[in-house]
């Protein structure tokens, strides 16, 4: 009987998991000149590994993962995956990976690190005390508002704002979708969010900076009043338990463009299980007539355990998601 093994260290960032693959992936499925190329090669040649580690029975419907890869442009290269595919950037995942690798001695105990992601280079600041990472902040890639897309939800017109923050987000007021973020049951957000993502992507929004099509991967349902709250739905209906790192960047960018957030002013965004990220806009510029921000977001992660996963050749079930 043949057995393949994969070693992971798992973290959670404000309740949201990141399964970090340390060993077991064939090196020739990770080749490329950039982290994006390495991710694309993995996607083309070893997507079964993603499915095996993210989906049931070894993962679950809301599992999230990261694969550290070599780079000579930064201290660390990493790409991100979920039960359904890949994201170019992930804030909670980045906080989890940096926390785990610094605490395990696999990254230098340096307060300043750079990380190459498929979305680009990200600067990271690490607060460490007694060998424990207390907080990780990242300055995301450039973020900007793309456009407002009018869609109909159950015959009712809804205004959806498309924001690039390392991934394309459709940001919408939860009330306008008929859901509340006050409920303990965040699963009520899933169907309306997936319907909205389909409608928005059918409308083919454009990225005003690159001129390319902006394909939305995540929907951010928002509520304000008693502080900023959000619930981000992505992949095939996964709910981010954290406030979502890149989603928080999208939110900060919208606040800034709407004149509600000055450069340097700090805000906290709370996610569906009550955990919060803090953020601010560190700088702005203009590209192609569009206001571009540099959002900084910070949060805390914890290592939850280590795994060695097996796949034996007599295990015919493989991996699956429940339809």
Q: Would you tell me which residues interact with ligand PYC (CB under 6 A)?
A: 87, 90-92, 218, 234, 240, 242, 244-247
At 52, phi and psi to the nearest 5?
A: -60, -40
Nearest distance, CB of residue 146 and ligand PYC, angstroms: 17
Per the CB < 8 A criterion, the answer to whether 7 and 308 are in contact is yes
Asked if residues 241 and 189 have their Cβ atoms less than 8 Å apart, the reply is no
Nearer to ligand PYC, 126 or 136 (CB): 136
Closer to ligand PYC by CB, 13 or 311: give it: 13
| Closest listed residue to residue 140, CA positions, set 282, 290, 289, 287 | 282
In the complex, what is the shortest distance from the CB of residue 185 to ligand PYC, in angstroms, rounded to a whole number?
A: 19
Minimum separation from the CB atom of position 83 to ligand PYC (A): 11
Minimum distance from residue 251 beta carbon to ligand PYC (Å)? 11
d(CA 285, CA 262): 14
Helix (H) or strand (E) holding 267: strand 267-270
Which residue(s) pair with 169 in the sheet? Answer: 163, 218
Which of 42, 169 has the CB closer to ligand PYC?
A: 169
CA torsion angle for 298, 227, 80, 314 (degrees, to 10)? Answer: 120
Q: What secondary structure does DSSP assign to 149-204, as a single string?
A: EEEEETTEEEEEEEEESSSEEEEEEGGGGT--TTSS-GGGGHHHHHHHHHHHHHT-
Choice among 146, 189, 231, 244 that is catalytic: 244
Q: How far is the CB of 94 from ligand PYC (least distance, A)?
A: 8
- Residue whose CB is less far from ligand PYC, 90 or 163: 90
In the set 90, 146, 189, 231, the catalytic residue is: 90
244 carries an active-site annotation: yes
Cβ nearer to ligand PYC, comparing 145 with 218: 218
Residues taking part in catalysis: 90, 244
């Amino acid at each position: 009987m043949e057995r393949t093994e994969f070693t992971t260290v798992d973290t959670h960032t404000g309740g949201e998991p990141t399964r970090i693959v340390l060993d077991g992936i064939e090196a020739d499925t990770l080749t490329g000149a950039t982290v994006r190329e390495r991710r694309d090669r993995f996607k083309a040649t070893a997507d079964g590994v993603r499915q095996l580690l993210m989906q049931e029975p070894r993962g679950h419907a809301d599992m999230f993962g990261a694969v550290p890869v070599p780079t000579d442009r930064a201290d660390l290269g990493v790409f991100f995956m979920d039960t359904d595919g890949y994201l170019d950037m992930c804030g909670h995942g980045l906080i989890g990976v940096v926390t785990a690798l610094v605490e395990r001695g696999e990254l230098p105990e340096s307060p300043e690190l750079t990380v190459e992601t498929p979305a680009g280079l990200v600067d990271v600041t690490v607060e460490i005390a007694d060998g424990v990472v207390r907080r990780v902040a990242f300055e995301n890639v450039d973020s900007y508002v793309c456009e407002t897309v009018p869609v109909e939800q159950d015959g009712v017109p809804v205004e959806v704002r498309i924001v690039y923050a390392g991934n394309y987000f459709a940001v919408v007021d939860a009330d306008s979708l008929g859901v509340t973020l006050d409920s303990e049951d965040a699963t009520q957000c899933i169907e309306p969010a997936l319907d909205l993502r389909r409608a928005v992507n059918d409308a083919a929004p454009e990225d005003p900076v690159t001129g390319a099509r902006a394909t939305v991967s995540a929907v951010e349902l928002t509520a304000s009043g008693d502080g900023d709250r959000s619930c981000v739905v992505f992949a095939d209906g996964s709910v981010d338990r954290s406030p979502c790192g890149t989603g928080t960047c999208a939110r900060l960018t919208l606040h800034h463009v709407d004149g509600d957030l000055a450069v340097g002013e700090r805000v906290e965004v709370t996610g569906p299980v009550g955990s919060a990220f803090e953020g601010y806009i560190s700088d702005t510029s203009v590209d192609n007539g569009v206001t571009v921000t540099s959002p900084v977001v910070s949060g805390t992660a914890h290592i939850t355990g280590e795994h060695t996963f097996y796949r034996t050749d007599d295990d015919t079930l493989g991996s699956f998601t429940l339809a």
